[in-house]
Amino acid sequence: MSTTQQLAAFVQQIEYHNLPETVVNQAKNAILDTLGVMLAGATTSVGNILLRYAESLGGTKQSSALGTQLQTSSPLAALVNGTFAHSYDYDDDNWAMMGHPSAPVLSAALAVAEAQGATGKELLTAYILGYEIEAKIGRGMNPAHYRLGWHPTSTLGIIGATVATAKLLGLSSSEIAMALGIAASLASGLRANFGTMTKPLHVGHAAMSGVQAATLAQMGLTAHEAILETSLGFAEKFTQENGFQFEPMTDNLGNPYEILRSGSCIKQYPCCAFTHRAIDAILELVKVHDFSAEEVEEVECFMGPASSGVLKYYRPLTGLEAKFSMEYCLAAAIADKKLGLSQFTDENVHRPDIQRLLARVKRQVNSSIPNDPVQEEQLPVLVKVKLVDGRYLSQEVAIAKGHPQNPLTESELKAKFWDCASLSLSSQQVTQGYTDVLNLEKIDSIKTAIKNLISSELAK
């Protein structure tokens, strides 16, 4: 049996009763987090563009764009919600995938589950399986895939979205293999677009394409049944032929599930994950030593080549670019003593006090560290601050807040969900949405639950 067929057979066989309680609970945490950032994304400029685009196309009213009044076809709803979910770069990370696992999978699964009237258990199962397969394939293709400039959130996220959709549609194992073959030819997403509106579009495109791939396979469209391992196939061409291994893709499937094994890094800050340990360090220094931006003479951040390459904006001009700027993140954190959604507006980037401080933040790249994001993530980040009164301060952080080894507390996760979801929903809706996710396995129809997550005006 080929690698593709092994994965397809696993997806077809697993049902909710096979899932450990710990896996379900972690999935609900990640779903809660993703729904929150998705609802926040409905208020962004890129979200507005996608809404207008979907409205211009029309479409059968099968599924909802969360936090809005739009109802459209399932593929278009997945496109819009997927873009929403990644608009703030606030959605979870996974280091096996080297990307954001939940946004593409959940966006596809929600759209299809709503259209199908699926249960909460069915949604959970589809989401967990989509997460599992995209992360497993990531284990086999990274870091070569990432180094080549591909954006795995999109290129591997489409696989997860396809798996989730296929499970909800009840596809056979052979149909799932066909769906993966279709998805492989639709996969794309370039890291050159980091810091632009097209980065969140990557997620929407992956979610939409996953819905399309599984639906077309259900209708009988054919593709190569072993697309992952065939010559000129997915693994070979997306890693330039020699950077992949098949064994990690099928090794210990569901034992443990990747949502526990590699886990979700649920973000505390709405910016690139490579900045988070340094942000934790600088905020700890500000808290302990209580210095202001005016007291700072110089800030140094010591980092590796992988993170420096991703954080390519030394002097960002927009809020989106600022998410990929170590200099900006540290300057804004010092100036405001926090780093949240309001720090990443275009207006905030151009504040005179932040611009003055930005020039004093320097990155020091240690070229002896391997150019491998996963290896670099295992090394601590050091931040040093020199104050105008002559004091030297330093702080080292090994594991960022939100990492599976240093997770957000239940109250912190709830606060993040509330802050994000309340940008689109009434307080009553936010409370009900939170309760629904905590009890997701008891929901009889996602179609009913979704009604609480559309705009307050339409809900009336």
Do 103 and 23 fall within a single domain?
yes
Average pLDDT rounded to a whole number, residues 89-97? 97
Q: Is the pLDDT of residue 457 over 70?
A: no
Average pLDDT rounded to a whole number, residues 141-164? 97
The β-bridge partners of 298 are 386
CA-based torsion, 285, 286, 291, 296: positive or negative: positive
Average pLDDT rounded to a whole number, residues 106-128? 99
Do 387 and 447 fall within a single domain?
no
Do 122 and 259 fall within a single domain?
yes
Note the pLDDT of residue 243. 84
| CATH code (residue 311) | 3.30.1330.120
CA–CA separation, 417 vs 35, rounded Å?
Answer: 8
Do 62 and 149 fall within a single domain?
yes
Note the pLDDT of residue 370. 81
Do 358 and 228 fall within a single domain?
no
CA–CA separation, 112 vs 169, rounded Å?
Answer: 8
329 within domain boundaries: yes
406 within domain boundaries: no
Note the pLDDT of residue 459. 40
CA–CA separation, 229 vs 231, rounded Å?
Answer: 7
Q: Are strands 361-365 and 381-387 parallel, antiparallel or unpaired?
A: unpaired
Task: Please provide the average confidence, as pLDDT, over all residues in the chain.
Answer: 96
110 within domain boundaries: yes
402 within domain boundaries: no
Q: At what angle do helices 276-289 and 326-336 cross, to 10 degrees?
A: 30
Q: Is the pLDDT of residue 86 over 90?
A: yes
Do 94 and 237 fall within a single domain?
yes
Residue 118: which domain range? 3-268+414-451
279-307 pLDDT, tens digit each: 999 999 999 999 999 999 999 999 999 99
H-helix or E-strand containing 83?
helix 74-86
Note the pLDDT of residue 369. 85
311-350 pLDDT, tens digit each: 999 999 999 999 999 999 999 999 999 999 999 999 999 9
Average pLDDT rounded to a whole number, residues 213-231? 98
Residue % of the chain over a pLDDT of 90: 94
CA–CA separation, 275 vs 283, rounded Å?
Answer: 12
Do 251 and 309 fall within a single domain?
no
457 within domain boundaries: no
Domain count, the chain: 2
408 within domain boundaries: no
Judge if the upstream peptide bond of residue 256 is cis by omega within 30 degrees of 0: yes
Q: What is the 3-state secondary structure (H, E, C) of 357-418?
A: HHCCEEEEECCCCCCCHHHHHCCCEEEEEEECCCCEEEEEECCCCCCCCCCCCHHHHHHHHH
368-399 pLDDT, tens digit each: 888 888 788 888 999 999 999 999 999 999 99
Do 174 and 66 fall within a single domain?
yes
- The DSSP line for 302-342 is EE-HHHHHH---SS-SSHHHHTT-HHHHHHHHHHHSS-SGG
Do 363 and 384 fall within a single domain?
yes
83 within domain boundaries: yes
Average pLDDT rounded to a whole number, residues 203-216? 99
Do 195 and 343 fall within a single domain?
no
| CATH code (residue 16) | 1.10.4100.10
Do 192 and 296 fall within a single domain?
no
H-helix or E-strand containing 296?
strand 296-303
The more confidently predicted of residues 272 and 376 is 272
Average pLDDT rounded to a whole number, residues 396-406? 96
Give the Å distances, CA to CA, from 104 to 130, 159, 184, 254, 271: 9, 9, 15, 20, 18
Do 259 and 283 fall within a single domain?
no
Tokens 């959970």, located at residue: 124
CA-based nearest residue to 111, from 446, 457, 453, 448? 446
CA dihedral of 404, 410, 413, 417, whole degrees rounded to 10: 150
The more confidently predicted of residues 370 and 48 is 48
405 within domain boundaries: no
